[in-house]
């Protein structure tokens, strides 16, 4: 049984909020930290929606939900947030400078026993290990979005991570109902994002370059039996994270198309506050996105043929 029972989650965004809620649901005492009250308030609103999902999909009782709320606290004070932590999971924006600054501030505040895990989706633990002040107690626990059904945790270490830290991290993951995915060595993108980011970038390229609409891109994916298409995944992941990942790797790899995709997302979504599922609007509008409509994948009526034919060779007009 895991002894990592006092958890602090640094960052209350989409995935940070999900990790916090799910861990509390599984019995952990959880402190959620962010730099300001506004993101914490947004996270609390999101957590109310998770409660409904857990009731509907996982059969959670009213007592289960009440107990989960009781195990969660929120703060903007970093020192108090980590004072009793057995495990700290960092889930701040996917920007190396932000993560490094946080680790530098965090290092002198932690109890000696505390393990630090980053939830970075594309970066490496060796990028930050020295800045944590405890490299032997540092590794990656990368969770997937919609944690209640995508219940996996990718576990990656650097050369200095201790075997005891690894063992405790695996036990923690299993203890909150995750399937551990052990990586044999460091890899940007881990397993999941090594194939997901190229998929999403390719889909975004089709939108950015005016090749196809988001809806038609998703139709090509959903007709194979999937429940969520690439453009729907953008909304679930969140536009801020999507922009940060594409911008960072576009710059690092000198990829002009990826940078154009990041710019598109920033201008059409991030700058307007349309952040995806969390804000209620991204490529789709929620709680009733078009791809959930019964007729989204239906064969159109023959009378629609002329209108569809007119779209062939005509780029979509106006900003999405």
pTM above 0.75, yes or no: yes
Neighbours of 169 (CB within 10 A): 24
Supply the range of the domain harboring residue 115: 6-182
Residue 320 belongs to some domain of the structure: no
Please write the tens of the pLDDT for every residue from 254-294. Answer: 999 999 999 999 999 999 999 999 899 999 999 999 999 99
| pLDDT at residue 278, as a whole number | 83
Q: In 95-227, which ranges are continuous DSSP H helix?
A: 96-106, 163-175, 192-208, 214-222
* Beta bridge pairs of residue 8: 31, 88
> What is the DSSP annotation of 72-133?
EEEES-HHHHHTT-SEEEE---S-HHHHHHHHHHHGGGS-TT-EEEE--SSS-GGGTGGGGS
Measure the CA angle with vertex 38, ends 33 and 39; round to 5°: 50
Residue 319 belongs to a domain: no
What digits encode the pLDDT tens for the residues 41-69? Answer: 999 988 888 999 999 999 999 999 999 99
Number of folded domains in the chain?
2
Is the pLDDT score of 319 beyond 70? no
Relative orientation angle of helices 192-208 and 230-237, to the nearest 10 degrees: 110
Strand arrangement of the beta sheet that strand 29-33 belongs to? 72-75, 29-33, 6-10, 87-90, 115-118, 138-143, 152-156, 179-182
Tokens read off for 213: 């609409």
How many whole angstroms separate alpha carbon 297 and alpha carbon 215? Answer: 10
Q: Given 157, 182, 207, which residue is the final one in a domain?
A: 182
Domain of residue 296, CATH code: 1.10.1040.10
Pair (63, 169) in one structural domain: yes
Q: What is the rounded end-to-end Cα distance, in angstroms, of the chain?
A: 49
């Amino acid at each position: 049984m895991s002894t990592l029972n006092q958890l602090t989650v640094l960052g209350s965004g989409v995935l940070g909020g999900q990790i916090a809620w799910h861990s509390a649901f599984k019995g952990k005492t959880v402190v959620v930290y962010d730099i300001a009250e506004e993101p914490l308030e947004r996270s609390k609103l999101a957590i109310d929606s998770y409660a409904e999902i857990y009731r509907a999909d996982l059969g959670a009782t009213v007592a289960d939900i009440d107990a989960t709320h009781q195990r969660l606290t929120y703060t903007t004070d970093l020192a108090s947030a980590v004072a009793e932590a057995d495990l700290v999971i960092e889930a701040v924006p996917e920007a190396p400078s932000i993560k490094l600054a946080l680790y530098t501030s965090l290092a002198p505040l932690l109890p000696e026993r505390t393990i630090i895990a980053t939830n970075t989706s594309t970066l490496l633990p060796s990028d930050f290990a020295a800045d944590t002040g405890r490299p032997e107690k540092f590794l990656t626990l990368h969770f997937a979005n919609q944690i209640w059904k995508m219940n996996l945790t990718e576990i990656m270490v650097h050369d200095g991570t201790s075997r005891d830290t690894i063992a405790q991290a695996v036990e923690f993951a299993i203890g909150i109902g995750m399937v551990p995915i052990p990586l044999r060595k460091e890899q940007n993108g881990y397993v999941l994002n090594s194939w997901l980011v190229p998929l999403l970038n390719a889909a975004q390229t089709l939108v950015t370059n005016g090749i196809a609409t988001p809806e038609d891109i998703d139709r090509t994916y959903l007709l194979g039996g999937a429940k969520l298409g690439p453009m729907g995944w953008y909304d679930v992941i969140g536009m801020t994270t999507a922009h940060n990942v594409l911008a960072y790797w576009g710059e690092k790899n000198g990829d002009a198309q990826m940078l154009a995709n990041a710019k598109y997302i920033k201008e059409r979504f991030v700058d307007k506050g349309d952040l995806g599922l969390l804000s209620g609007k991204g490529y789709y509008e929620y709680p009733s996105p078009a791809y959930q409509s019964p007729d989204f994948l239906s064969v159109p009526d023959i009378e629609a043929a002329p209108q569809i034919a007119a779209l062939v060779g005509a780029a979509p007009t106006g900003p999405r």
